[in-house]
């Protein structure tokens, strides 16, 4: 099977590309250039792609030409502006990339002879947040206060409209939570902030230590995507799908940090972080997903609990100081696949 991954140079895209290649699939990618410090660069992943195309997905004509050149069997659309604080700095660019970029991808699929399935990745933040103490389900109202959340909700709604109007092969939407894992060096992400702080014997600063998030290892999330794609190919499934940890695994940002510090090898009972003193942009304080639909219909379940997910992430970064990032990533994928 030939997969096209947009955003293949990013964190999730890098893990997914390597995972699919290890399963024997042909991989192509369309994306912006990777960050100089990134899993894509450090693991030298450019060599695993049939087509490794770099362009801005907001350029509709170039994007469509590239998609038709690849002529994939399956498309996974990950390309996005994924950061909340960046969305406050550049709201127009965020909406343009996340909404128009997604529509450009969908329009580019028209006339693809080999296309069998398209998976659009949005986020858990598409839900209009009422700080519910329950997990959001796929039928809950969409919305967003910050520009990032609003742009992804708009992309989600636009995709649903496009599916009803134009789809000739299965198209589905996947909404996942806060994904962690080795090799994530993106700015404004909690794990790289922790690695940078603890590597230099400093305390990290937290914007919202009491915020609750659906923390999930990248491999559990990608395993959900793959199960959904298989169901799309075999059974013609479409629609919207949540992929998040069980509702019992609700943990604050502070709990994540304290567990990570322990996994990193920092001993003692003292607090391993300090609060950000400057005023921060709005972010939801309580956000959980109800993934019952995927668990029931796709037989998908988390293989990794909260503690194991943090251990794997911390160990990846520590091992990468002396070992090949590609070999570490392959090793963790193999061990994950072997789990029941």
Mean pLDDT by 10 residues, the chain (340 residues): 98 98 97 95 96 98 98 98 93 98 98 96 93 88 95 98 96 94 88 89 84 92 98 97 89 91 78 68 74 97 95 96 96 94
Predicted local confidence at residue 157, as pLDDT: 98
Q: In degrees rounded to 5, what are phi and psi of residue 135?
A: -80, 145
Backbone angles phi, psi at 163, to 5 degrees: -60, -50
pTM of the full predicted structure?
A: 0.94
For tokens 């069998």, the residue is 116
Tokens of 65: 């030409």
- First CA to last CA distance, the chain: 24
What is the enclosing helix (H) or strand (E) of 5?
A: strand 2-6
Q: Which residues are CB-neighbours of 161 under 8 A, at least 6 positions away?
A: none
CATH of domain 2-338: 3.40.50.720
Contact status, residue 173 vs residue 159, Cβ threshold 8 Å: yes
DSSP per-residue codes, 25-81:
-EEEEEESPPPSSSHHHHTTGGGG-S-EEE--TT-HHHHHHHHHHH--SEEEE--S-
What's residue 207's pLDDT?
A: 81
Cβ–Cβ < 8 Å for 244, 288: yes
For the chain, domain boundaries: 2-338
């Amino acid at each position: 099977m030939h997969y096209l991954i947009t955003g293949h140079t990013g964190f999730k895209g890098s893990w997914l590309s390597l995972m699919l290649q290890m399963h024997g699939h042909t991989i192509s990618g369309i994306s912006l250039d990777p960050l100089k410090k990134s899993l894509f660069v450090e693991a030298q992943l450019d060599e695993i792609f049939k087509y490794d195309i770099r362009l801005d997905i907001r350029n509709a004509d170039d994007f469509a030409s590239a998609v038709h050149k690849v002529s994939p069997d399956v498309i996974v659309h990950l390309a996005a502006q994924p950061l909340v604080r960046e969305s406050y700095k550049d709201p127009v660019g965020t909406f343009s990339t996340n909404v128009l970029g997604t529509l450009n991808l969908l329009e580019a699929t028209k006339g693809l002879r080999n296309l069998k399935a398209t998976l659009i990745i949005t986020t858990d933040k598409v839900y209009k947040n009422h700080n519910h103490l329950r997990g959001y389900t796929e039928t809950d109202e969409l919305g967003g206060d910050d520009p990032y959340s609003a742009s992804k909700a708009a992309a989600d709604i636009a995709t649903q409209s496009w599916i009803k109007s134009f789809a000739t092969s299965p198209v589905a939407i996947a909404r996942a939570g806060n994904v962690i894992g080795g090799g994530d060096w993106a700015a404004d992400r909690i794990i790289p902030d922790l690695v940078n702080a603890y590597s230099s014997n400093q305390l990290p600063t937290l914007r919202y230590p009491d915020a609750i998030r659906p923390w999930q290892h990248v491999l559990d999330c990608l395993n959900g995507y793959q199960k959904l794609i298989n169901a799309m190919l075999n059974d013609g499934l479409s629609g919207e799908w949540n992929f998040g940890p069980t509702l019992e695994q609700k943990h604050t940002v502070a709990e994540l940090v304290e567990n990570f510090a322990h996994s990193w090898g920092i001993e003692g009972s003292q607090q391993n972080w300090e609060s950000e003193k400057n005023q921060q942009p709005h972010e939801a304080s309580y956000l959980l997903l109800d993934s019952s639909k995927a668990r029931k219909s796709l037989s998908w379940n988390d293989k990794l609990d909260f503690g194991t997910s943090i251990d794997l992430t911390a160990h990846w970064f520590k091992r990468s100081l002396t070992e090949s990032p590609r070999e570490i990533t392959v090793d963790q994928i193999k061990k994950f696949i072997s789990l029941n």
